[in-house]
């Protein structure tokens, strides 16, 4: 079984309207691709909680404050689609940057307070980019529920604040972090750790425990 991949908002909306007309609930799992077991666990939670499941794959340029980081971010769409087929999601939405941010796009979404410390302090503009794309993905998918990993704890708080402040009609579901056997939280970025970095990375979880 392969999963349908849609790239246009209009096509996605047509599909979702059909589901809603049939009284079905829709879940979305927003991702930037390079999927691992953590993402798949979100997709499974969405399958368990909703009639239909959309996984979005979009490497969002607006949340990268460093162009080299954006360039190097892993992109593995074929492999991702094969993994999502094993979970049985209904649609992958993988738009181009121009589809998400057409010429003339001029809106900023900024969640103050919770975005400021921790990662926000080290990556200026990062959470504004996350808030903008997440708000757009909710509008595009018209999902009833959206699934986010607790691994990105601050991001989860930002998204919850965004949804509450803007009265967005979507329920946010936080899901437990999935870890490697040695305790390292699964992340697409782990692929970029050096051998030495990978060896010491689990110490963070161990010490926090
Ligand atoms: O957590 C991520 O992968 C991204 O920040 C998200 C939520 C898909 C927005 O681009």
pLDDT (tens, 9 = 90+) of the chain, 209 residues, equals: 899 999 999 999 999 999 999 999 999 999 999 999 999 999 999 999 999 999 999 999 999 999 999 999 999 999 999 999 999 999 999 999 999 999 999 999 999 999 999 999 999 999 999 999 999 999 999 999 999 999 999 999 999 999 999 999 999 999 999 999 999 999 999 999 999 999 999 999 999 99
pLDDT at 162: 99
How far apart CA 172 and CA 161 sit, in angstroms, is: 10
- Taking the centre of ligand 1 as the mean of its atom positions, its distance from the CA of residue 46, in whole angstroms, is 16
- The dihedral region occupied by 168, where left means phi > 0, alpha psi between -120 and 50, and beta the remainder, is beta
Q: Which of 39, 122, 126, 205 is catalytic?
A: 39
pLDDT at 103: 97
Cα 166-62-135 angle, rounded to 5 deg: 20
Q: What is the pTM of this model?
A: 0.97
36 is catalytic: no
- Helix (H) or strand (E) run with residue 117 in it: none
CA of 73 to the centre of ligand 1 (A): 12
Distances (CA, A) of 128 to 59, 78, 107, 114: 15, 29, 10, 11
The residue nearest atom 8 of ligand 1, judged by CA position, is 31
| pLDDT value at residue 1 | 81
Ligand 1 is surrounded, with C-beta below 6 A, by: 30-32, 60, 63, 130, 133-134, 152, 155
Total number of residues shown for the chain: 209
Q: What is the pLDDT of residue 22?
A: 98
CA of 75 to the centre of ligand 1 (A): 14
Q: What pLDDT, on a 0 to 100 scale, did the predictor assign at position 15?
A: 98
Domain with CATH 3.40.50.620 in the chain: 4-178
Nearest Cα residue to 132 out of 166, 93, 103: 166
State the sign of the Cα–Cα–Cα–Cα dihedral 154, 8, 71, 186.
Answer: positive
Residue of 29, 55, 63, 123 to test ligand 1 pocket, by largest number of atoms within 8 Å of CB: 63
3-state helix, strand, coil in the chain (%, to 5): 50, 15, 35
CATH code: domain 4-178 is 3.40.50.620
């Amino acid at each position: 079984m392969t999963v349908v991949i849609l790239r246009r908002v209009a096509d996605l909306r047509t599909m979702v309207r059909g589901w809603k007309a049939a009284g079905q609930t829709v879940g979305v799992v927003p991702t930037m691709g390079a999927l691992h077991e953590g993402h798949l666990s979100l997709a499974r939670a969405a399958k368990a909680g909703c009639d239909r499941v959309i996984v979005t794959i979009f490497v969002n340029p607006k949340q990268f404050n460093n162009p080299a980081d954006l360039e190097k971010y892993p992109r593995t769409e074929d492999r991702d689609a094969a993994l999502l087929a094993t979970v049985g999601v209904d649609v992958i939405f993988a738009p181009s940057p121009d589809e998400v941010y057409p010429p003339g796009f001029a809106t900023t979404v900024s969640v103050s307070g919770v975005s400021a410390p921790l990662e926000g302090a080290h990556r200026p503009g990062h959470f504004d980019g996350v808030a903008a794309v997440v708000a757009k993905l909710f509008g595009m998918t018209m999902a009833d529920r959206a699934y986010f990993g607790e691994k990105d704890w601050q991001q989860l708080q930002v998204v919850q604040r965004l949804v509450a402040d803007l009265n967005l009609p979507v329920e946010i579901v936080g899901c437990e972090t999935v870890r490697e056997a040695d305790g390292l939280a699964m992340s697409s970025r782990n692929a970029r750790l050096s051998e030495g970095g990978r060896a010491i990375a689990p110490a963070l979880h161990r010490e926090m425990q």
